[in-house]
Structure 1
Amino acid sequence: MSDYWANFIRTGNPNGDGLAHFPASSGNKSAMWLGEYVGAGPITVSEERISFLRRWMSHLHEY
C-alpha cells in the first residue's frame, strides 16, 4: 500500500513497476484489494453500508 501512496504523491498515479494495476475510479463499483488477492475487484458491501460510510466520513471534519 505504501508503494501505491508514494507513487500517487510523486506522480499523481499510484501504479508502478512490480505493482498490480490500480485502475482509475470510474464509478463502476469496484475497489482495489490489497491482501491475499491483489488487484481490482467488485465492492462486496451493501449500498446501505456504503451510504452510511459516506455520511459518516462527510462529518469527520466537524471533529
Structure 2
Amino acid sequence: MYVSDHAVLRYIERVIGLDVEAVRVKIASPTVQKAVDFGCETVVLGTGQRIILHGDVAVTVLPKGARGTR
C-alpha cells in the first residue's frame, strides 16, 4: 500500500488538528515575500532550514544543513 502526500497532509490537518493554512501564512512571511520580490531562489531561515522558491511559489523546505540542487 502507498499513502500519498495528500493523504498524509489531510491526516495531519483533520486528525491531528494542525492548522495547515496557518503554516502556509507562516511560510509566506513578509521576509519571504521580499525575497520573492527580489527574485531570490532560496531563503535561509534563522533556524537554518531553507525555503526553495520557483518564481513566486515556495516549492519545498529543506532541513538545516541541506543544499538544494538543480
Q: Same fold (TM over 0.5)?
A: no
Write 1 or 2 for the structure with the bigger share of strand: 2
